A and B are shown apart, each in its own frame.
Chain A
């Protein structure tokens, strides 16, 4: 059953159609690989679906009942959606632990001011940081982490949110093999828990290994979709990539 659908989503930047009339559905318990050559509109599509950029036309459908003609960034957490960024974006001046704890923060004034983090918040933070191998670095400022560690922390922060729908924008880029293994297992774990995982990736081996379904974009439009082994052997898909 689809948990997230786009209905004719479109976005123009001046005269350029960045995303053109894209209708897609993403299913729960699956990793959907979102691929395409540079500038094909993958990241713009994620930005549209997570409220970072408003779409000009179309609709976002969540589950069976929620239909959204507009998404704002601060709404997406309430819709159980989270994301990572192609260029890692962390709370640089906060410790590794606080980068995770901040997403577990309760929002009413009283508890925000006077209640300490409960044991389960700390346990949750420990669990996700251990999962990505950053627990030992918990007291370091995020700004002092290496590039790979920063990527892992961003993924840990997303995982800590316990969302239903996860967008990962090139989570493997620039990672060492050991770190890649960690990210691979985190993504598989999220899928096995029944979450909807959308993975933007350039490495076709990773797409073949991880994704259950594959969507190819080219010049802002949908070029192909289906099982990865079928889609990736299509002539037009190969041409779109080789034509880069």
Chain B
């Protein structure tokens, strides 16, 4: 029975990582109503920025992380400005947005592979500090991931509920056309949401890089788990995504308690199918 505390810890850590991806993904989806497949690749770009700065230029870790987060945010902002804004202007369908984001994802991923090769890299420096928690083991990076998720969630709650920017985001999310006529520059708001969501994605890519490692294609698997978490929790609902992420983390980790770890993805997608069939609106409806 000793394994249960560790399974709980692993589930929480997995949930925290999926939460970070789901938070940014849901923030963007909630405002723009399309599946941004490039979201995961922006996470990878965050990781590779830190890799470049800290390993090639010998930058200290913390400034590298800050630059990495901001750079990922800027990439998200620029992608919106150069691609998605033009599509919004043309009132393109959801399918066009989806395919365009697939194109952006593939192009960015290829660019990362050209610059840094497809090899698996790690960001970690030295041996990881390890803590004992309720009979389970958690590394320092994993503890930071947990802390970051809590801080980002609290920050997003404050931002969306209590600031005027948050009201404009919610208004744009509810009724973009009406938001325009009441004087909200929805393109600017969506641009800022892309920056924010992509910066969160960047941070998740960086932290995953420190926890396990980075590779150009890491974005897709991160994105898929984030999307599953979002759908389980309630697509477009920032808090639902977090709930879905932790639920997914627990189901995945406890699902492989007695069987091979290779079943993890099969279990995750099985859960997705069950939700799509029986509760497509997710746990919390927006």
User: What residues of chain A have their CB less than 8 Å away from a CB belonging to chain B?
Assistant: 50-52, 72-74, 76-78, 82-83, 85, 89-94, 98, 101-103, 105-107, 109, 111-117, 157, 161
- A90-B175, A92-B175 as given contacts; A74 in contact with B164, CB under 8 Å: no
- A90-B175, A93-B170, A94-B174 as given contacts; A112 in contact with B165, CB under 8 Å: yes
Q: What is the CB-to-nearest-CB distance from A59 to chain B, in angstroms, rounded to a whole number? A: 20
Is B177 within 8 A of A52, CB to CB?
yes
Is B167 within 8 A of A98, CB to CB?
yes
A-B contact list, 13 entries, CB within 8 Å: A74-B185, A77-B183, A85-B178, A90-B174, A91-B171, A94-B170, A103-B183, A109-B165, A113-B159, A113-B163, A113-B165, A114-B163, A161-B183
Contact of A93 among B159, B188, B192, B286 (CB under 8 A): B286
Q: What is the CB-to-nearest-CB distance from B89 to chain A, in angstroms, rounded to a whole number? A: 10
* A103–B170 alpha-carbon span in the complex (Å): 12
Most buried by B among A74, A76, A82, A117: A74
* A107–B188 alpha-carbon span in the complex (Å): 10
Contact of A74 among B168, B171, B184, B286 (CB under 8 A): B184
Please indicate the chain A residues that have their CB under 8 angstroms from the CB of B178 in the complex.
85, 89-91
Q: Give the residues from 169 to 194 in chain B that come closer than 8 angstroms, CB to CB, to chain A.
A: 170-171, 173-175, 177-188, 192
Closest to A74 in B: B180
Q: What is the CB-to-nearest-CB distance from B168 to chain A, in angstroms, rounded to a whole number? A: 6
Please indicate the chain B residues that have their CB under 8 angstroms from the CB of A77 in the complex.
181-183
Please indicate the chain B residues that have their CB under 8 angstroms from the CB of A94 in the complex.
167, 170-171, 174
Is B174 within 8 A of A105, CB to CB?
no
Q: Top 10 A-B pairs ranked by shortest CB distance?
A: A77-B183, A73-B180, A112-B165, A74-B180, A91-B174, A105-B164, A103-B182, A102-B167, A112-B164, A91-B171
Q: What is the CB-to-nearest-CB distance from A174 to chain B, in angstroms, rounded to a whole number? A: 19
Closest to B178 in A: A89
* A89–B181 alpha-carbon span in the complex (Å): 11
Is B184 within 8 A of A105, CB to CB?
yes
Measured as residues with beta carbon below 8 angstroms from the partner, the interface class of chain B is 20 to 34
* A93–B187 alpha-carbon span in the complex (Å): 20
Is A111 within 8 A of B164, CB to CB?
yes
Contact of B181 among A76, A106, A113 (CB under 8 A): A76
Q: What is the CB-to-nearest-CB distance from B13 to chain A, in angstroms, rounded to a whole number? A: 31
Is B171 within 8 A of A73, CB to CB?
no
Please indicate the chain A residues that have their CB under 8 angstroms from the CB of B185 in the complex.
74, 107
Please indicate the chain A residues that have their CB under 8 angstroms from the CB of B162 in the complex.
116
Contact of A102 among B159, B171, B180, B187 (CB under 8 A): B171
Q: What is the CB-to-nearest-CB distance from A70 to chain B, in angstroms, rounded to a whole number? A: 13
- The dominant DSSP class at the A interface is loop
Please indicate the chain B residues that have their CB under 8 angstroms from the CB of A101 in the complex.
164, 167
* A92–B174 alpha-carbon span in the complex (Å): 6
* A52–B182 alpha-carbon span in the complex (Å): 13
Please indicate the chain A residues that have their CB under 8 angstroms from the CB of B184 in the complex.
74, 102, 105, 107
* A55–B165 alpha-carbon span in the complex (Å): 32
Q: What is the CB-to-nearest-CB distance from A171 to chain B, in angstroms, rounded to a whole number? A: 16
Q: What is the CB-to-nearest-CB distance from A240 to chain B, in angstroms, rounded to a whole number? A: 30
Please indicate the chain A residues that have their CB under 8 angstroms from the CB of B173 in the complex.
93
- A82-B181, A91-B178 as given contacts; A105 in contact with B170, CB under 8 Å: no
* A119–B284 alpha-carbon span in the complex (Å): 34
Closest to A98 in B: B167
Please indicate the chain A residues that have their CB under 8 angstroms from the CB of B171 in the complex.
91, 94, 102
- A93-B286, A98-B170 as given contacts; A157 in contact with B164, CB under 8 Å: no
Most buried by A among B159, B181, B182: B181
Please indicate the chain B residues that have their CB under 8 angstroms from the CB of A106 in the complex.
164
* A76–B180 alpha-carbon span in the complex (Å): 8
* A115–B167 alpha-carbon span in the complex (Å): 13
- A74-B185, A91-B175, A93-B174 as given contacts; A105 in contact with B167, CB under 8 Å: yes
Contact of A91 among B170, B186, B187, B192 (CB under 8 A): B170
Most buried by A among B171, B182, B188: B182
Please indicate the chain B residues that have their CB under 8 angstroms from the CB of A89 in the complex.
175, 177-178
Please indicate the chain A residues that have their CB under 8 angstroms from the CB of B165 in the complex.
109, 112-113
Q: What is the CB-to-nearest-CB distance from B162 to chain A, in angstroms, rounded to a whole number? A: 8
Q: What is the CB-to-nearest-CB distance from A113 to chain B, in angstroms, rounded to a whole number? A: 5
Q: What is the CB-to-nearest-CB distance from B240 to chain A, in angstroms, rounded to a whole number? A: 13
* A223–B168 alpha-carbon span in the complex (Å): 41
Closest to B237 in A: A93
Q: What is the CB-to-nearest-CB distance from B196 to chain A, in angstroms, rounded to a whole number? A: 11
Q: What is the CB-to-nearest-CB distance from A54 to chain B, in angstroms, rounded to a whole number? A: 11
Please indicate the chain B residues that have their CB under 8 angstroms from the CB of A105 in the complex.
164, 167-168, 184
Q: What is the CB-to-nearest-CB distance from B182 to chain A, in angstroms, rounded to a whole number? A: 4
